[in-house]
Structure 1
Amino acid sequence: MVDDVRAGTVEANGLRFGYLEAGPEDGPLALCLHGFPDSAHTWRHLLPELAEAGYHAVAPFMRGYAPTAVPDDGACQAGALVADAVALHEAFGGGPDAVLIGHDWGALAVYGAVAYAPERWRRAVALAVPPMTSLMSSFFEYEQLKRSFYIFLFQTPFAEAAVNEAFVAGLWRDWSPGYDATADVAHVMDCLAAPDNLAAALGYYRALMDPSAHADRYAAQQDAVSAVGERPLLYLHGADDGCLGVDAFFPNGDASAVLACLPRGSRAQIVPGAGHFLHLERPAEVDRLVLDWLVDDRQDM
């Protein structure tokens, strides 16, 4: 197995991005986007598998997460993440055979990027956050509102004081019960150690409540986040997800509600024995599902 993971930096969309990469630089681009509270290290199991399959696998630290720069204009809404994904595709010389994989906030960037620029991506994978229309249909149910307390906390001036190592560890413990997140939490705290970096990460959530912020610059990309694109997607959700309860999106295990919000030819399924960070909790199974999805598409071409 390829296990050589390299670090680098690249300029894209006016920001200096830090990233981890594996695999041949002339292979098809596989761009892997992380969420909150997380880092590019979250893809440490998948990057070598993608590299072994011949991909140039790249996991950037998302905007605002050190060593990636904090945007000067403070733009951190989902539309900005879409613009970043497209710009990173360009910066790494991606072609139409590129694939896009995202978890949590990275999943929202996936939905938007494949709808906004479908010609850049062959196929895509989203984990742990369903399509926006599906997400909003269940967000205001009582049990989900309890799980989502942190979003409302992040709108307050107390958020910066509250989000420390113990808080981040608590989210991981609640969202992925039984998983030892010690190393992951340490990576998160490294990324958010500076006040500006923490403010940027919180800014993702504050932009949810202020959709007018930077609306002109990223309007088309923001609209794409809620659109149904052309490229088929694989959507995976952990059965024990403590962040977004699986029953709200897969009632009685039925994936039809999620699939109705995805492009034709998509697939959605539950991963048993996994929580929100399913790719870390069940890496062998999730890696296999991702690679099988990508291989199936190549066979169909």
Structure 2
Amino acid sequence: MHGFPDSAHSWRHLLPALADAGYHAVAPFLRGYAPTGIPADGAYQAGAIAADANALHEAFGGDGDAVLIGHDWGAIATYGATGSAPERWRRAVTMSVPPLGGVLADFFNYDYGQFKRSFYIFLFQTPLAEAGAAAHDMALIDGLWRDWSPGYQDAAEDIAHVKESLRDPANLAAAIGYYRALFDPSRHVAAYAAEQEAITGTGETPILYLHGTDDGCIGADVVQGARDHLPAGSRMELIDGTGHFLHLEAPERINREVLTWLAG
């Protein structure tokens, strides 16, 4: 499961590697990201995308040997899905966003550098969010990719896919809606309460957490305590020389880490 500002195309390196290893590998577009439709319930809380992951497990006839891999918002969905339905998922991998139980508790303890990196979260709480994100052919998306993965020089294809997915104002508003629901419980739908609660829990499913040392979205210094919020049997690995989109910057290394973990 992908995150923001990204699309399912983000998994173009990992999907074939998983398939070669014998997995039925599926990469959905998150709710609200075209071509996925706008959800009728209007829910963009983290618990909703966690529920989507569990629903996909059901739809594809998954069993207890299934695994879940998420990056950014997809990582948050993974924490909620595995935490609320551990019987569905044997192992999981998350990237670039550590467990929210630690992040949110320490948010105001971050230094000025992390507040600067998080400016877009505050922008997305305002009425200016949609207009700002759409301006100049979605230049904000170009800037975020440049800042978040400064060493990644081949992002043009990825960014084009993101803009295609969010070009329609309704889809762009959906992507921003994730951030508005993050701090506003009035936007939460009761049907996803169990998954929402599980987002900040520890869970039971062992998780491999990967984070780039040069991540310009969430600094590597911020995630040092992530180990304390991962389930028993989990592992955390910092990937040298990579930024936020580490699975695209160092695909061979990430594929190897993921496949080794899933086979363990």
TM-score range, shorter chain: over 0.9
SS at structure 1 position matched to 2:221 = helix
Aligned to 2:46: 78
Equivalent residue number for residue 177 of structure 2:
203
CA contact (8 A) 1:77 1:208 kept: yes
* 8 A Cα contact 1:237 1:269, kept in partner: yes
Residues 281-296 of structure 1: pairs in structure 2 closer than 5 A: 281-296=249-264
Q: Which residue of 2 aligns with 1:110?
A: 78
Superposition RMSD on alpha carbons, in Å? 1.0
* Superposed displacement of residue 214, structure 1: 2.9
Gap runs ≥5 in structure 2: none
Cα distance in 2 for residues equivalent to 1:127 and 1:65? 20
Q: CA deviation at 1:137?
A: 3.9
Question: How high is the TM-score relative to the length of structure 2?
Answer: 0.96
Q: 1:96: which partner in 2?
A: 64
The one-letter code of the counterpart of 2:124 is: F
Partners of 1:187 and 1:137 in 2: how far apart?
Answer: 34
The offset of 1:215, in angstroms, is 3.7
1:173 partnered with 2:146:
yes
| Higher strand residue share | 1
| Cross-structure match for 2:221 | 247
Larger helix percent: 2
The alignment partner of 2:238 has SS state of: strand
SS in 2 for 1:100: strand
**With CA pairs under 8 Å and 6+ residues apart, which has the higher RCO, 1 or 2?**
2
Given that 1:85 and 1:113 are in contact with CA atoms closer than 8 Å, whether structure 2 keeps it comes out as yes
2:239 maps to amino acid: V
Contact 1:138 1:144 in 2 (8 A): no
Partner of 1:161: 131
Mapped to 1, the partners of 2:247 and 2:102 lie a distance apart of 21
Identity of aligned residues (%): 65
Does the aligned pair in 2 maintain the 1:51–1:57 contact within 8 Å? yes
Q: Is residue 2:69 matched to residue 1:69?
A: no
Match of 1:8 in 2: none
Partner of 2:162: 188
- Tell me the distance in 1 between the aligned counterparts of 2:67 and 2:243: 24
Q: What CA distance in whole angstroms lies between the structure 1 residues aligned with 2:173 and 2:49? A: 16
Q: Which amino acid aligns with 2:215?
A: D
Match of 1:52 among 3, 9, 20: 20
Aligned residue in 1 for 2:211:
237
Shift of residue 212, structure 1, vs aligned partner: 2.7
Question: In the aligned structure 2, how far is the partner of 1:215 from the partner of 1:43?
Answer: 29
Deviations along 1:56-87, one digit per CA (max 9) or x if unpaired, are: 00000000000001112210010000110010
| Bigger mean CA deviation after superposition, 168-177 or 135-144 | 135-144
Unaligned runs of 5+ in 1: 1-32, 251-256, 297-301
- Checking the alignment, whether the CA contact within 8 Å between 1:138 and 1:249 is kept in structure 2 is no
Matched with 1:146 is 116
Deviation at 1:144, TM superposition (A): 1.2
- State the number of aligned residues: 258
Query: C-alpha separation between the residues in 1 aligned to 2:226 and 2:179?
Result: 23
SS of equivalent residue, structure 1 residue 123:
strand
TM-score (norm 1): 0.84
Residue of 107, 119, 138 corresponding to 2:87: 119
Q: How far, CA to CA, are the matches of 2:222 and 2:69 in structure 1?
A: 23
**8 Å contact from structure 2 (residues 31, 49) kept in 1:** yes
